[in-house]
Chain A
Amino acid sequence: MNLAFHGPIADGRPKLPGSLHVNRRLDRWLSFHAEGFVTIRPGKVELGQGILTALAQISAEELDVALSRIRIQPAATPDSPDEAVTSGSLSVQECGMALRHACADARRIHLGVVAQRSGVPMEDIAVRDGDFVAPDGRGLGSYWAMADAALLAVEASPEAQPKPAAERRIAGHSAPRLDLPDKVFGEPRFVHDLRLPGMLHARMVRPPSRAAKLLEMRPGPALPDNAAIFRDGSVLAVVAEEEHLAQLAAERLARRAVWEECDTLPAEGTLEDWLRSAPRESSVVMENAAEVPPPVHRIQASFFRPFLAHGSIGPSCAVARWDGSSMEIWCHSQGIYNLRTDLAKALRLPAEQIIVRHMEGAGCYGHNGADDVALDAALVARAHPGRPIRVLWSRAEELGWSPFSPAMLVEVEAQADASGTLTSFTLDVISNGHSGRPGRGKEPTLLAASMLAEPFPVPLSINPPLAGGGGAQRNAIPPYCVPALRVAMHRLLEMPIRSSALRGLGALVNVWAIESVMDELAGLAGEDPLSHRLRHLDDARSRDVLNRAAQMAGWAQRVKAEGRGMGLAVSRYKGSGAWCAAVAEVEAAERVLCRRLWLAVDVGEAINPDGIANQVEGGAIQATSMCLMEAVRHDTRAITSDAWERYPILRFSEVPEVAAEIIARPEAPPLGAGEASMGPVIAAIANAIADALGVRLRHWPFTPENIAKAP
């Protein structure tokens, strides 16, 4: 269950794949219906990444039914398997492999019964789109005819054998996204589109700055729509019948609210000093001691990145209904059970009285406001029994109050001999923890919990262990052969700005730092960056993606042009996930634009190749936006980049062309594709800028101001 956090589970029970190990009953995962379809019940959720389509493909494949026969039940407590959080590019490994095995087992169980009943040996029975067929063409029944047989009311057997790769016809082929038609025709699909009878609209009135306390409300005229005011401590909201009047009422009420404010944030220009000086907890991630000769080449560099925002296009939204004894919530959380755990704490209700239902939200790239808005809606709903309450965050809340990816500082010292061969590498990564997700600690991590009249303390974010992918230390261990290695992590023990997981976590900065230093070393030794990397890599799949990307980009034939540069980078995501190499071409004029990207990825078995390409391309474009443009802005009190104008992201005219190729490994275990391209793309862009301008970037984003700061 969510290896991203817990690591592998050793509980003495026979090992079952992925989340099936901890959710062992088959009927929890799937059921057949007499009408001729199958329901599958993934605990992982659609975030815009297309996972439901891949899961349906895997299931259809093992059952031998057409993809169109698969229905997907949206995840909800308490019936869906508890798969913790949809994160870490782990859904194919954890949910996909669980479904693959569960469906293979369901098929085996059904064929066993049919064989016994018909006398036809099990291995001779074919399954044709759910119908069981004897070698002589005789029909022997179907899943649909046996739908009521309760055959799946058993634990999965370790004996089940999913199909060998060569026999797959659905998994491994591009299938169109099952969710896309609704989105192209404007059908209601998002939680934002949910309309329940009697539903009221609420808007939150946020404090003007972090840590501000609500003192009082100045008297004033009635609010539009006679909107009701909700207040619990510093949690303030308005509730109205009509959505736009709730909006108007929130604006009016904000002008009447009196807050006590104080300075709690480091000044923007001092973030780097703050990272160096804040109290910290240090730990060694990896250490290999070795006697090494005095270096000929030595590079010492610090890489700084400010806080980053998620920037989902749709603001967070939830609907909650309190009937006096139970709370039902519809939201776009990545982890419905984890959210339920924290809602129970924050609402001071037993978890059994809370139902959390997942509905899709706009693109989710990590721990954003989805969980927070669920608590907002629940708090307001409790004050309006029987009336569903819909809370939609404003753009300012989305960009200003969602958790952020923490500011980071990565300090590297690399030593090499005369040929540029690495002899020693040390890396220190400093930041707040990268996970403040709900459901894992003593105190709830939800935004409003710390603002209640009886507040909860804000828990410090943590870094998951490296075995579960890590947080700040994700990809901090270089993939290159080096005799002396020391990687350390320093987690800050104060968290003025709430930090949590955003796509790639620490990998984005660690890969940037490592790949920049490798490039510089190659330069010092007068070696091509590609060959320099290749001879330091003993991992064949890393070399394969690197060679492939270089070939796609025509690396060997590249011609230096004024104001243009090319750079490359490689990384295996988390050291245990997908491999990706990137080549970037940039154009440096008044500002730097990335013009082209070439990517090669290896995700093992590719369940839905086009879906993987879409994720890899998307990650590449998002990473380009992040490194060229993005930084959360703030003063000593408040986040000031709470509008798109102050947190600009890449627009159509600025987007690079992206070519992505998948190296086919149908026999290899499948790996998630969602995050793998980000680190390599950022690093390749930084290296391309160095190629174009001859300067090494140490400050993110790669703007003219920060390029000017480069040594």
Chain B
Amino acid sequence: MDPHGAHDPGMTRFTLNGTEVAPSIAADAPLLAALRGPLGLSGPRFGCGEEQCGACVVLVDGTPAFACTMPVAAVTGKCVETVEGLGTPEAPHPLQRAFLELQAGQCGYCLSGILMAAAALLRRVPQPSAAQVKEALDPHLCRCGSHNRILRAVLRAAEEMQPA
């Protein structure tokens, strides 16, 4: 199996979680394939490939985007953020801390996308209402039924992020 398609390593350059990258993948490949493939990430997940579930959501220049359908060329020169860039166990983002404190998750497959959508919301609306959180998370499916814990965790993170 020879490599096939428009491989031109470095053709698509973008910033991933603060670092410039040029994944070796065809320009028309989905961003998700670049992130999980040559870029080696696990956070963005494949759920449906049809923009219906939100498991793949990452931020592109701060806005939630479905990485499953967006061609990697579309992020050329842009800033892509994934859950790996949000925080680490040593320095968690307030959202990650709140999700752990409130045990907001069961299987966890949907969480990467939800955390990113929530992070974008809190940058735009630092003190959202419950209704605003629900609206922001409506593109995201959770089958385990952790919705209410997730909602409370986002609101708690918002509170914690307020300057004292």
A657 to B37 Cα, complex, angstroms: 39
Distance to closest chain B CB from A354 (angstroms): 26
Report if B145 contacts A (CB, 8 A). Answer: yes
Report if A577 contacts B (CB, 8 A). Answer: no
Distance to closest chain B CB from A423 (angstroms): 39
Contact A362:B3 (CB < 8 A) given known A244-B37, A644-B48: no
Report if A54 contacts B (CB, 8 A). Answer: no
> Are B83 and A313 neighbours in the complex by a CB distance under 8 Å?
no
Report if B163 contacts A (CB, 8 A). Answer: no
Closest to B153 in A: A184
Report if A245 contacts B (CB, 8 A). Answer: yes
Contact A243:B36 (CB < 8 A) given known A652-B134, A652-B140, A655-B148: yes
Distance to closest chain A CB from B66 (angstroms): 13
Report if A315 contacts B (CB, 8 A). Answer: yes
Tell me the A186-202 residues at the B interface (CB within 8 Å): 186-190, 192-193, 195, 200
> Are A180 and B82 neighbours in the complex by a CB distance under 8 Å?
no
Contact A186:B82 (CB < 8 A) given known A226-B4, A362-B109: yes
* Chain B residues closer than 8 Å to A184, beta-carbon distance: 83, 92, 96, 99-100, 105, 108, 111, 115
Chain B 74-115, CB within 8 Å of chain A: the 1/0 string? 000000001110011100100010011001011111111001
Chain A 235-254, CB within 8 Å of chain B: the 1/0 string? 00001111111010000000
A658 to B41 Cα, complex, angstroms: 35
Contact A655:B147 (CB < 8 A) given known A313-B141, A618-B106: yes
Chain A: interface residue count, which band? Answer: 35 or more
* Chain B residues closer than 8 Å to A614, beta-carbon distance: 103, 106, 146, 149
Chain B 114-155, CB within 8 Å of chain A: the 1/0 string? 010000000000000001011101101111111111110000
A184 to B97 Cα, complex, angstroms: 9
Chain B 41-66, CB within 8 Å of chain A: the 1/0 string? 11111111110110100000000000
> Are A185 and B96 neighbours in the complex by a CB distance under 8 Å?
yes
Question: Which of A48, A187, A314, A615 has a CB less than 8 Å from the CB of B45?
Answer: A314
Distance to closest chain A CB from B52 (angstroms): 4
Report if B33 contacts A (CB, 8 A). Answer: yes
Chain B 24-43, CB within 8 Å of chain A: the 1/0 string? 01100110010011001111
* Chain B residues closer than 8 Å to A394, beta-carbon distance: 49
> Are A652 and B99 neighbours in the complex by a CB distance under 8 Å?
no
> Are A652 and B37 neighbours in the complex by a CB distance under 8 Å?
no
> Are B84 and A395 neighbours in the complex by a CB distance under 8 Å?
no
Q: Which of A118-126, A275-283, A619-627 contacts B (4 or more CB under 8 A)?
A: A619-627
Report if B164 contacts A (CB, 8 A). Answer: no
* Chain A residues closer than 8 Å to B112, beta-carbon distance: 183, 186
Report if A228 contacts B (CB, 8 A). Answer: yes
A621 to B96 Cα, complex, angstroms: 23
* Chain A residues closer than 8 Å to B49, beta-carbon distance: 247, 394-395
- Most-contacted residue by chain A among B55, B106, B138 (CB, 10 A): B106
* Chain B residues closer than 8 Å to A225, beta-carbon distance: 1-5
> Are B87 and A621 neighbours in the complex by a CB distance under 8 Å?
no
Report if A179 contacts B (CB, 8 A). Answer: yes
> Are A185 and B135 neighbours in the complex by a CB distance under 8 Å?
no
* Chain B residues closer than 8 Å to A625, beta-carbon distance: 145
Closest to B137 in A: A652
Distance to closest chain A CB from B132 (angstroms): 11
* Chain A residues closer than 8 Å to B30, beta-carbon distance: 244
Closest to B51 in A: A644
Main secondary structure on B side of the interface with A: loop
> Are B108 and A183 neighbours in the complex by a CB distance under 8 Å?
yes
Chain A 411-422, CB within 8 Å of chain B: the 1/0 string? 000000000000
Report if A265 contacts B (CB, 8 A). Answer: no
A475 to B121 Cα, complex, angstroms: 44
> Are A241 and B111 neighbours in the complex by a CB distance under 8 Å?
no
A643 to B53 Cα, complex, angstroms: 10
Distance to closest chain A CB from B150 (angstroms): 8
> Are B134 and A649 neighbours in the complex by a CB distance under 8 Å?
no
Report if A547 contacts B (CB, 8 A). Answer: no
> Are B42 and A188 neighbours in the complex by a CB distance under 8 Å?
yes
Closest to A621 in B: B145
* Chain A residues closer than 8 Å to B140, beta-carbon distance: 651-652
> Are B29 and A244 neighbours in the complex by a CB distance under 8 Å?
yes
Question: Which of A239, A620, A643 has a CB less than 8 Å from the CB of B48?
Answer: A643
Chain A 43-84, CB within 8 Å of chain B: the 1/0 string? 000011110000000000000000000000000000000000
Contact A620:B42 (CB < 8 A) given known A47-B107, A394-B49: no
> Are A653 and B134 neighbours in the complex by a CB distance under 8 Å?
yes
> Are B105 and A313 neighbours in the complex by a CB distance under 8 Å?
no
> Are B46 and A657 neighbours in the complex by a CB distance under 8 Å?
no
A620 to B149 Cα, complex, angstroms: 13
A395 to B52 Cα, complex, angstroms: 10
> Are B48 and A622 neighbours in the complex by a CB distance under 8 Å?
no
Report if A595 contacts B (CB, 8 A). Answer: no
Closest to B109 in A: A362
> Are A652 and B138 neighbours in the complex by a CB distance under 8 Å?
yes
> Are B143 and A644 neighbours in the complex by a CB distance under 8 Å?
no
> Are B1 and A312 neighbours in the complex by a CB distance under 8 Å?
no
Report if A483 contacts B (CB, 8 A). Answer: no
> Are A363 and B143 neighbours in the complex by a CB distance under 8 Å?
yes
Closest to A48 in B: B107
Distance to closest chain A CB from B74 (angstroms): 15
Contact A48:B108 (CB < 8 A) given known A185-B96, A315-B46: yes
> Are B84 and A190 neighbours in the complex by a CB distance under 8 Å?
no
* Chain B residues closer than 8 Å to A48, beta-carbon distance: 106-109, 144
A49 to B103 Cα, complex, angstroms: 12
Contact A179:B108 (CB < 8 A) given known A187-B42, A644-B53: yes
A686 to B42 Cα, complex, angstroms: 41
Closest to A655 in B: B147
Question: Which of A177, A247, A314, A611 has a CB less than 8 Å from the CB of B47?
Answer: A314
* Chain B residues closer than 8 Å to A365, beta-carbon distance: 143
A157 to B118 Cα, complex, angstroms: 52
A643 to B142 Cα, complex, angstroms: 15
Question: Which of B52, B146, B147 has a CB less than 8 Å from the CB of A644?
Answer: B52
A54 to B45 Cα, complex, angstroms: 27
> Are A186 and B41 neighbours in the complex by a CB distance under 8 Å?
yes
Distance to closest chain B CB from A311 (angstroms): 5
Contact A176:B100 (CB < 8 A) given known A622-B143, A653-B138: yes
> Are A243 and B47 neighbours in the complex by a CB distance under 8 Å?
no
A193 to B42 Cα, complex, angstroms: 6
> Are B1 and A619 neighbours in the complex by a CB distance under 8 Å?
no
Closest to A656 in B: B148
Contact A313:B143 (CB < 8 A) given known A244-B33, A362-B107, A614-B103: yes
Tell me the A605-644 residues at the B interface (CB within 8 Å): 610-611, 614-615, 617-622, 625, 643-644
> Are B96 and A314 neighbours in the complex by a CB distance under 8 Å?
no
A67 to B55 Cα, complex, angstroms: 31
* Chain B residues closer than 8 Å to A392, beta-carbon distance: 46
A-B CB contact pairs (8 Å), 7 listed: A184-B96, A185-B84, A245-B5, A617-B145, A643-B48, A652-B134, A652-B137
A binding-site residues for B, Cβ under 8 Å: 47-50, 176-177, 179-190, 192-193, 195, 200, 222, 224-228, 239-245, 247, 311-315, 360-365, 392, 394-395, 610-611, 614-615, 617-622, 625, 643-645, 649-653, 655, 657-658
Instruction: List 15 extra interface pairs beyond A313-B143, A314-B47, CB under 8 A.
Output: A48-B107, A185-B87, A188-B42, A224-B5, A225-B5, A243-B33, A244-B25, A312-B109, A313-B55, A315-B46, A362-B109, A651-B140, A652-B151, A653-B138, A655-B145
In order of increasing CB-CB distance, the 5 nearest A-B pairs are: A186-B43, A48-B107, A183-B108, A621-B145, A618-B145
